[in-house]
Amino acid sequence: MPGVNIHKDDTVKVMTGKSAGHTGRVIRVLPREGRVMVEGAAMAKKHQRTQGKRSQSGSQLQQGGIIDTETFIDIANVMLVCGSCGKPTRVGYRIEGDGTKVRVCRKCGADQ
């Protein structure tokens, strides 16, 4: 998926789906698949077995159980939250005088 404008450590708001309205930090981005992982959104329960060898001290035994983990969300279902105005916005680009490309907020015009 070319032109992915959401990067790791951005703050985004989930717009649709089970976690709609949730605001969180981007943990991972898969640009080819067009998916992002948002901290605390789209939680799934993973059933994990006890792993390792049981010894006298019990130090090598990893505890099993039900673990909550984040899953990937389609990148079209999240919007970047502007650091200045605090609103979800689309991302625009501006080219500076020295030729560098800068992401800008479409609502207030501030740099991201």
- 57 falls in which pLDDT band (50, 70, 90)? low
Ordered DSSP codes for 14-46: E-SSTTTT-EEEEEEEETTTTEEEETTSSEEEE
Residue 60, pLDDT > 60, answer yes
The pLDDT assigned to 82 comes to: 95
What architecture is the 1-81 domain classified under in CATH?
Roll (2.30)
**What does the alpha-carbon distance between residue 70 and residue 84 come to, in Å, rounded to a whole number?**
27
pTM here is: 0.81
Boundaries of CATH 2.30.30.30 in the chain?
Answer: 1-81
